[in-house]
Amino acid sequence: MSRTQRSVINYASSLLLQVITLSIGIISTPLLLKWLGNDRFGAFRSANDWLGHLKLLELGLGGSLMPMIAIALGQGDQAKVRLTLSVGIRAYFKVACLMLGGAIVLGCVILRLVPTQAALTQELQLGYWLNLLSLIWLPLTPFRLLTDAAQRSDLVNLVFIVQSLIITGLSLHLAQVGGGIPGQFLAVLTGTAIASILLSWRGICRYPDTFSMALRPPRPADHAIQQQVRQLSVPTLLFNVSGQISFLTDNMIIAYFLGSASVVPFLLTQRLSALAQAQVQVMGNATWAALADLYADQQLAAFNAKIIYLTKLVVIVGLTLTIPIALYNPQFVQLWVGAEQFAGWQVNVLAAINAVLLGVLSLWGWCFSGTGNIAKFLPIALTGASVNLAVSLLATPVIKMSGPLLGTSVAFITVYIWWTPWLMKQVFGTPLRALVNAIARPLLIAAFYVPGAIWFAQTYPPSGWLTLALSMLTIALIFLGIAWLFLLSREERSQWSRQFKRS
């Protein structure tokens, strides 16, 4: 199967995952809010975000192993794949112990970091400590990396669908029977455990000797792999730190300044935009291994052509999804969970803008992380994270919920949008004018299209779920049709037509 076909399959599976996730979220969220309330739901989400920051103690290990596994697979070096997996298993066991220590320290101050009602403190603490059992499955992580590196994101997405169904079903049941915050953590723990086993099974069956290799004393070949991991781990760690600061601290900032209950409307208002963002980001996730193959084969002309083309597609898809979301999100939130959960137009519009911007940034970031050049991207990532955090902390007390989103927008505009293309030119020889055009042309089309879309949305407001869905679909399909005619070349349209016919 060709790289293009594999990327299309990966993207299609991701689209299915997003559709199912959206459907599950629409059904489950009102019920969870009814049975848990804003305080419990917000405290759970905030505490879960703090636990997510323990991933920094991975010390960049995953980002180091992934390109090494991908290159070994691309070269057909099965011995090196086995060695890399065994070294990864041994390293992730040490990481699990390190994370356990960090979690114990974090658990001592979690009630200060997530302010909540006195009646909920015991629930929050019990759920927090229960979640630490998930560290048992951490040494299996290299097998998940193996699946991604083998361009089988379709299998990963299928497992994530199963995980989502399990977590949602258990969350609803435990919330209904009064499980409270511990019940929500238990649901996540169960779904994560099952997903970890499923994702690892294929790799374990193919490379069953990796566990015995991990248990033996390190040999010279192991030391060589470990040395490569160390060379990549520090820049990968710093890159992950910048990502955590930039994009995963919003809920914590909201909870700290505005209270954990404010996290709920902040999250729910961004629900559709977050799904759109995930959809455009997955284009990079689905294609990074193919790009790594091109880079490893020294096919830089094909590599750059692919990047420019994908950048254009990311912007087109992002605008197709976010324009109707920005226009109709208030009606969606009202029908879904009630108008009182809508956080305002500033949050709505900034979330839609950031969804497109972060989709582009994610694709460009894969160019560096997927090819082992992550150290060169670090100055951009660290500068952008600093600007993002500073603006978020200064703006949130003043403009409330839109503060963290403004920080993301300012960082992208002042740091990423000009610095990253310049670096891509230096490292990969990417033509700047073509890259700028890939972003500018779709944005120009959108600038002419949006006023008409606003007129349509205001003139024909939806009255229910059916008319809402039809209105959003109409706005999206019209823009997609315009993009098809004016933004894709004749050759690109022919390629897509042939691909659709084959599928």
pLDDT digit string (tens) for 157-211? Answer: 888 899 999 999 999 999 999 999 999 999 999 999 999 899 888 888 888 888 8
State residue 46's pLDDT score: 83
Mean pLDDT for the chain? Answer: 85
Mean pLDDT on 484-496:
86
State residue 288's pLDDT score: 63
- The whole domain housing 113 covers 1-234
Residues 92 and 18 reside in one and the same domain = yes
- Structural domain includes residue 239: no
| Range in 135-144, 184-193, 237-246, 356-365 the model is least confident about | 237-246
Reported confidence tier of residue 79, pLDDT bands at 50, 70, 90: confident
Mean pLDDT on 451-477:
95
Residues 158 and 135 reside in one and the same domain = yes
Residues 229 and 169 reside in one and the same domain = yes
Name, of 112-121, 291-300, 477-486, the range with top average pLDDT: 477-486
| Range in 373-387, 400-414, 465-479 the model is least confident about | 373-387
Distance between CA atoms of residues 266 and 263, nearest Å: 5
State residue 232's pLDDT score: 57
State residue 240's pLDDT score: 67
Q: Who has greater pLDDT, 465 or 78?
A: 465
Residues 229 and 261 reside in one and the same domain = no
- Structural domain includes residue 476: yes
Other CB atoms within 10 Å distance of the CB of residue 368: 23
- Structural domain includes residue 243: no
Reported confidence tier of residue 498, pLDDT bands at 50, 70, 90: confident
225 has a pLDDT exceeding 90? no
Residues 219 and 92 reside in one and the same domain = yes
Reported confidence tier of residue 111, pLDDT bands at 50, 70, 90: confident
Residues 259 and 214 reside in one and the same domain = no
Q: Which of 66, 30, 27, 38 is nearest to 266 (CA)?
A: 38
- Structural domain includes residue 241: no
Share of the chain above pLDDT 90, in %: 42
The residue from 234, 266, 285 where one domain ends is: 234
3 has a pLDDT exceeding 60? no
Other CB atoms within 10 Å distance of the CB of residue 320: 24
Residues 107 and 210 reside in one and the same domain = yes
Distance between CA atoms of residues 290 and 311, nearest Å: 15
2 has a pLDDT exceeding 60? no
The residue from 234, 260, 277 where one domain ends is: 234
The residue from 204, 234, 264 where one domain ends is: 234
Residue-wise DSSP of 331-376: HHHHHHH-GGG---HHHHHHHHHHHHHHHHHHHHHHHHHTTT-HHH
Residues 264 and 191 reside in one and the same domain = no
131 has a pLDDT exceeding 60? yes
Residues 217 and 261 reside in one and the same domain = no
Q: What is the pLDDT of residues 404-456, one digit of tens each?
A: 999 999 999 999 999 999 999 999 999 999 999 999 999 999 999 999 999 99
Q: What is the DSSP letter of 416?
A: I
- Structural domain includes residue 244: no
State residue 129's pLDDT score: 92
Asked whether 401 and 347 are in contact (CB, 8 A), the reply is yes
Residues 417 and 459 reside in one and the same domain = yes
Mean pLDDT on 460-478:
94
CA–centroid distance for 157 within its chain: 13
Distance between CA atoms of residues 372 and 436, nearest Å: 24
Instruction: Name 18's Cβ contacts closer than 8 Å, sequence gap at least 6.
Output: 275, 278, 279, 282
Residues 254 and 212 reside in one and the same domain = no
Other CB atoms within 10 Å distance of the CB of residue 179: 20
- Structural domain includes residue 240: no
Which amino acid belongs to residue 118?
Answer: A
Asked whether 424 and 364 are in contact (CB, 8 A), the reply is yes
Residues 27 and 124 reside in one and the same domain = yes
Q: What is the number of structural domains in the chain?
A: 2
- Structural domain includes residue 413: yes
Q: What is the pLDDT of residues 259-284, one digit of tens each?
A: 878 888 998 999 899 888 887 877 76
- Structural domain includes residue 296: yes
Predicted structure pTM score: 0.72
| Range in 211-215, 323-327, 334-338 the model is least confident about | 211-215
